[in-house]
Amino acid sequence: MDEFSAHEPLISNGGFKDLQSKNKPFKLVLVKWLLKSLMWLIFVLWVAIIFFLPSDFVRSLFLNLIQASQHSFFGITGSIFLLFSVPILIIAFLAFIYISVFPSDDFERRNSKPPRFRLWTFPIIVDGPFGVVSAAEFIGILLFSAYVLYNIIDDSIQNQELIAREFSVTGKERSYLMIELTGLRLGSIGLFCMVFLFLPIARGSVLLRMIDIPFEHATRYHVWLGHLTMALFTLHGLCYVIAWALEGRLIEKILEWKDDEIANLPGVISLSAGLLMWVTSLHPVRKNYFELFFYTHQLYVVFIIFLVMHVGDFIFCMAAGAVFLFILDRFLRFCQSRTTVDIISAACRPCGTIELILSKPSNLRYNALSFVFLQVRELSWLQWHPFSVSSSPLDGRYHLSILIKVLGEWTAKLRDIVSTNSDQLQIKKITASVEGPYGHESPYHLMYENLILVAGGIGISPFLAILSDIIHRINERRPCLPKNVLVVWAVKKSKELSLISAVNAQSIHPSFSDKLQLDIQAYVTQESVPPLEEGKVHDMSSISSFSVINGRNMSCLVGTGNNMWSGMYVVVSTLGLVAIYSLLQAYYIKPFHVSTRWYLGLLFVLCMVAAVTILGGIVVLLWHWAEKRNLKHDESVKIGNEKIDLSLSSDAKAHSQTEGSNLVNLLATRYGCRPDFQEIFNSFSDRVGHVDVGVIVCGPPSLQSTVAKECRSQNIKGKWNHPVFHFNSHSFDL
């Protein structure tokens, strides 16, 4: 999916939660404010320490702390971990409390106050190397740029002063030393950037849920930070290589592995792994050789382990908090992915798109902007691919659907398996596992009376879920704001238009058009005239499907699932880390006077892994047992409901074929042209007036940029009060 930052519209517009808070006790509102303020205070102080560490004042405080803790029980390692890693862990604990007490999807009515300027959702830059950039993202880019430039300039000045004060060298030796010190400073800057590199890549991260940054947005930040971090680490290594080569000691220094100082060889290995990941993650390589990118990215394990051995335990503790949160998320994903999932239905649609209906437990929650990671073991045991959920959570309690377009080798092989099984009596084995669902913490598609959905090709998939969700909510009289919805859909071939028939609006709510003004405009770009038998374009009668039933649902062991168990998992694992490292200090490190830096770093990482897999694993087992017990009474109902859901789906298809009752009737198709968004948006503005508009885009970067540019133009012209632009980016280059 492709959806632009829907980060804090609720907070920024004083939305539903503010209105609801008026009806809440004052004490609860105060607790909410205090929690949020405390988290922001800790975060700002933590960032300020990192940002101003090169300054004389902060550096002197830091050195005093190191000196004071040198002979304490945890030593320098403990003090650095306390200063740089504990704050982010405390924020994570508080975030679990916050999202449990104040769920973001808890809304009843729309706030009458007009929304204010939204930093997260207003596009500032629409063209350039970063793609579409919101105001908040632009501020973040400026802050990181300022941090790097400030540190480089300040460190250069300090290097000059240090050489003049501490070293009696002249000429070439002074130049060599200056190059090495510059490399040292660049490495330390890169290490702090690595803190933020690992935070956005945890898919079920409570921190991302707290500020409602969906994983597809966080992935962009991971990419940006990855480029910055690897550029700094590469310059760090290059400075030392140049200095050692000029000194004539290159091979000797590269192979050096000291026990009481920085170990060079592990650093070379770590940097080599990082460079492989970096080069293969560049867009041209990733797009054309996805498997190469995927497999080389597993070298992150080598990168981290040898980085720790390179710098030692106490230096690594500057980034340990973020890495620990990533390990927590990775282990939980591993546990969830061990379960194979029933495929209730698998079919190839006439346009070549694959539709999978997967079994899920009734208590596994998701919203219409969610996505899952899918693994098919017959294709690969290692590859996981993201796909948008194409069904509404109101379509059925026990299943969800995904649509998969064939765009690469993996999806082509999956299509071959599905089409072969559908045509034969003998079903070949297909084993699917799922991670997720992930996505927005809040259902932003329900929070705007005027909604524009812009899709490119298979990008219609999440919008099918949105349309179904809106119509279901209208039918069931649930909270739902959209009154005017415009869908703009660009496809290459007219056969792709059959995807719209996946939603049968009439079967959900026969009179939905009385309460919802829905306009669907389709543009077929590579066909100049309609096909000869246009009426059969949307014919779904030729679809045949099969199922793979093993009696298993998707696992509930997901970071976005039960907040109580997720919070316990993080807390117990963190306390376990402290306990295991304390025992290691008391009974091994201190009694045996272990002081080898690379070995201490390796021991610290092993403590992190042990805390997550052993103590955190116990919580995961209890969580799994509790979920199984809660679902036992549901099993008898599930079979009946699945049959009802599937029979309703079949009836709906038959009804749509005979009476044309689905969304196909609302489709206005134009051939041989592309959408003119200026004209489309102007027409929409003339119809709805001077109002607030939510725009969600799902498609390639070029489509995102075009729509974002027009959204900004509409705001500047004063036609829209506060356009809110979202995009969802899931993998389309498989």
Given a cut of 50, whether residue 16 has pLDDT beyond it is no
Give the other-Cβ count within 10 Å of 411's Cβ.
20
Tens of pLDDT, residues 104-119: 654 444 444 444 446 6
Q: How confident is the model at residue 658 (pLDDT cuts 50, 70, 90)?
A: very low
Name the nearest CA neighbour of 3 among 298, 219, 275: 219
Distance CA 126, CA 4 (A): 11
| Residue 535 backbone class (left: φ over 0; alpha: ψ -120 to 50; beta: rest) | alpha
Confidence of residue 569 (pLDDT cuts 50, 70, 90): very high
Higher pLDDT: 423 or 455? It is 455
Residue 649: pLDDT band by 50, 70, 90 thresholds?
very low
Q: In the structure encoding, which two tokens stand for residue 54, read together? A: 């090169």
- Positive or negative CA dihedral for 435, 436, 437, 439? negative
pLDDT for 690 beyond 90: no
Q: What is the pLDDT of residues 156-166, one digit of tens each?
A: 888 888 887 77
- The Cα–Cα gap between 99 and 13 comes to 19
Residue 415 CB burial class (10 angstroms; 0-12, 13-18, ≥19): middle
Q: Which residue has the higher pLDDT, 112 or 94?
A: 94
Q: Is the pTM of this model over 0.95?
A: no
The string of DSSP codes covering 18-49 is: HHHHHTS-HHHHHHHHHHHHHHHHHHHHHHHH
Rounded to an integer, what distance in angstroms lies between the CA atom of residue 232 and that of residue 155? 14
Averaged pLDDT for residues 52-73: 85
Residue 168 has pLDDT above 90, yes or no: no
Residue 661 has pLDDT above 80, yes or no: no
Q: What is the DSSP letter of 523?
A: E
Backbone angles phi, psi at 522, to 5 degrees: -110, 140
- Confidence class for position 9, pLDDT limits 50, 70, 90: very low
pLDDT score recorded for residue 600: 95
List, in order, residues 6 or more apart from 116 with CB less than 8 Å away: 12, 13, 14, 722
> How many angstroms separate the CA atoms of 670 and 675, rounded?
9
d(CA 702, CA 684): 22
Residue 563, pLDDT above cutoff 60: yes
Cα separation, 6 vs 727, whole angstroms: 8
Other beta carbons within 10 angstroms of residue 489's beta carbon come to 26
Spell out where 325-412 has E strands.
340-341, 343-348, 354-359, 371-376, 385-388, 399-404
- Asked whether the predicted pLDDT for residue 77 surpasses 70, the reply is yes
Indicate whether 303 pLDDT > 80.
yes
pLDDT of residue 22: 45
Q: Mean per-residue pLDDT for 620-634?
A: 81
* Assigned token pair, 232: 């700094």
pLDDT over 60 at 427, yes or no: no
Instruction: Calculate mean pLDDT across residues 561-571.
Output: 88
Neighbours of 528 (CB within 10 A): 9
Taking only the tens place, the pLDDT of each residue in 474-484 is 888 888 888 88
Comparing 264 with 729, the larger pLDDT belongs to 264
| Residue 588 DSSP one-character state | I
- In one-letter notation, the amino acid at residue 472 is H
- Coil, strand or helix at 402: strand
With 60 as the cut, is the pLDDT of residue 277 above it?
yes
Residue of 711 and 731 predicted with greater confidence: 711
Per-residue pLDDT of 336-371, as tens digits, reads 888 888 888 888 887 888 889 888 888 888 888 888
Which residues are paired to 388 by β-bridges? 371
Mean pLDDT of 172-199: 90
Q: What is the largest CA-CA distance in the chain?
A: 92
Cβ neighbours around 423 below 10 Å, total: 10
Q: For residue 722, give both structure tokens.
A: 């506060």
Of 154-158, 538-542, 596-600, 657-661, the range with the lowest mean pLDDT is 657-661
Strand 450-456 to strand 484-491: parallel, antiparallel, or no bridges (unpaired)? parallel
- Tokens of residue 326, six digits: 């990533």
- How many other C-beta atoms are found inside a 10 Å radius of the C-beta of residue 162? 14
For residue 731, pLDDT over 80 is answered with: no
Q: What pLDDT is attached to residue 193?
A: 92
pLDDT over threshold 50, residue 670: yes
Mean pLDDT throughout 707-712?
84
Taking the C-alpha atoms of residue 149 and residue 370, their distance in angstroms, rounded to an integer, is 38
What integer pLDDT is reported at residue 646 of this predicted model? 47
Span of 114-123, 175-184, 216-225 with lowest mean pLDDT: 114-123
Rounded Cα distance between 226 and 590, Å, is: 37
The whole-chain average pLDDT of the chain stands at 81
- Angle, alpha carbons 679-369-571 (nearest 5°): 145
Pull the structure tokens for residue 510. 């026969």
For residues 578 and 359, what is the distance between their CA atoms, to the nearest angstrom?
Answer: 39
Residue where the block lists tokens 């799994």: 624
- Determine the average pLDDT of the residues in 651-668: 54
Tell me the average pLDDT across 429-439. Answer: 84
